[in-house]
Structure 1
Amino acid sequence: MRSPIDLFRRRFLDVLASIYIYNEHRGYTSLDRVLEAVRVRCPDDPDFIAAIEKHRADERKHYVMFRRWFELQGRMPLAVDSTCGHIDRFIHKVFGCTIDELDTQGVIDSPEAFERLCRVIMLTEQRGMRQVEILLENRHVRADRAMKRIFEVVERDEPDHWMPYAAWLDTQGRAKARWRERWADYWIHKSLMLVKLPSLFFNPASRRMAAWPDAGEEAATPMGS
């Protein structure tokens, strides 16, 4: 019979990994559109393009690791939606639309919109890096060797996910964050931590995904590749 601590840990990691698998999938699929914009706006900056390509590849790798964790557990992730997505909510706050509704051509045509997008990605990734540092100190994460290893990989990759955008903004002489953007980032993070995560944790009727988010995409690469 499982102890109360074991049951709590199992549920905590289940919820945590479900939120991460949503965000990692949302991240790498959304970066396809960012790459489209960057290749048009910055064709003479191959380093910036390569950095975003690496960012996209890392997000995909992280998704695959979380998927493999669930597969080894013998269950599917909880079915979370865009209300649990930091980047989804940030884009909506800054651009007034969903990620899917964001006008890629409009971002390409508008220097101001492109800069805002770079700042949103940079702030999101900086927030993610700080959160991973906290999670690696969490005793429930540390008690699960596979989960701990996943977050160690994520921690190692995170700096490369915000530094290129910060460097580009510096090169262009643009502000790296507006106070409203920093406030939006803070508010979204707090609402996820204090409202969404607990509500999902304590909802015994939470459904699980019927199919993997990447169903139909290229086959997932093995963990650790």
Structure 2
Amino acid sequence: MPKVIESRVIESPGFLRPKPAQRFRARFLDVLASIYIYNEHRGYTSLDRVLEAVRVPCPDNPAFIAAIEKHRADERKHYVMFRRWFELQGRMPLAVDSTCGHIDRFIQKVFGCTIDELDTQGVIASPEAFEKLCRVIMLTEQRGMRQVEILLENRHVRSDKALKRIFEVVEKDEPDHWMPYAAWLDSQGREKAKWQERWADYWIHKSLMLVKLPSLFLRRSTPRMAAWPDAGER
């Protein structure tokens, strides 16, 4: 009786191992960029209201107004870069909401309302409210600067040349996004931040990093945006 020679294909462990890692990397970058594109869009649209509030109490401070206008332009530029990153991959961002927005949650915590509900005229009429708004923006941007520094050390971010370049641009722009508010508070002899505001900033950041981002990563049912956030904007 002839022997049957069993033929086996031996697959290299090194060939199989990268597949889960590649899926992890792709999902991580997808979630990360989706959160950033939301926050960048929320940032520049919210700064339109900040500019409205600044022009009234600070008409004799064109440098401060110009700095906020640059901040707004940079946020818009960052949004466009993240949008282009998704476009080149042929997909839309995940449909994240205000629960993933640092500034959304900060405004809610400090002012007790959403950004959309924030009374611009009330901020204009109240020096205390305007100073509080400046501190919230300053702390948010300082947090963002530190986070980008960490992300640029992340191996998954560094492995994507396009995304790495986007974060390098964001890192370069970030100091101009908090220094003008800090300088204005200094010029007015006001506190840079109260302990309650620093604690709120810390708590929001930790909840985003330890709860919201992981849950979004694991929840595969999250739909993608049906339209770009700036659709219909002039």
The reply to whether TM is greater than 0.5 is: yes
How many residues in Structure 1 have an aligned counterpart in Structure 2?
Answer: 218
Query: Aligned letter for 1:203?
Result: R
Give 2:11's aligned residue: none
Q: For residues 197 and 60 of structure 1, what CA distance do their matches in structure 2 show? A: 23
Given the alignment of the two structures, is residue 96 of structure 1 paired with residue 112 of structure 2, yes or no? yes
Given the alignment of the two structures, is residue 33 of structure 1 paired with residue 57 of structure 2, yes or no? no
Which of 48, 65, 69 is matched with 2:64 structurally? Answer: 48
Partner secondary structure for residue 3 of structure 1:
helix
Query: Aligned letter for 1:140?
Result: H
Given the alignment of the two structures, is residue 137 of structure 1 paired with residue 153 of structure 2, yes or no? yes
Q: For residues 28 and 198 of structure 1, what CA distance do their matches in structure 2 show? A: 26
Query: Aligned letter for 1:50?
Result: A
Displacement of 1:5: 1.2
Which of 214, 217, 227 is matched with 1:201 structurally? Answer: 217
CA RMSD of aligned residues (A): 0.8
Q: For residues 73 and 186 of structure 1, what CA distance do their matches in structure 2 show? A: 34
The percent of aligned pairs where both chains have the same amino acid is 87
Displacement of 1:44: 0.2
Q: For residues 220 and 169 of structure 2, what CA distance do their matches in structure 1 show? A: 31
Cα deviation digits, residues 92-137 of structure 1 (max 9, x gap): 0000000000000000000000000000000000000000000000
Q: Name segments (4+ residues, structure 1) moved above 3 Å.
A: none
Q: For residues 7 and 156 of structure 1, what CA distance do their matches in structure 2 show? A: 30
Displacement of 1:204: 1.0
Paired residues for 1:42-191 under 5 Å: 42-191=58-207
Query: Aligned letter for 1:212?
Result: W
Q: For residues 23 and 130 of structure 2, what CA distance do their matches in structure 1 show? A: 45
Partner secondary structure for residue 67 of structure 1:
helix
Partner secondary structure for residue 78 of structure 1:
coil
Task: Give 5+ residue unaligned stretches, structure 1.
Answer: 219-225
Q: For residues 149 and 204 of structure 1, what CA distance do their matches in structure 2 show? A: 28
Give 2:40's aligned residue: 24
Task: Give 5+ residue unaligned stretches, structure 2.
Answer: 1-15
Q: For residues 124 and 144 of structure 1, what CA distance do their matches in structure 2 show? A: 26
Partner secondary structure for residue 203 of structure 2:
helix
Query: Aligned letter for 1:92?
Result: Q
Partner secondary structure for residue 181 of structure 2:
helix
Q: For residues 108 and 183 of structure 1, what CA distance do their matches in structure 2 show? A: 26
Give 1:222's aligned residue: none
Partner secondary structure for residue 163 of structure 2:
helix
Displacement of 1:217: 1.3
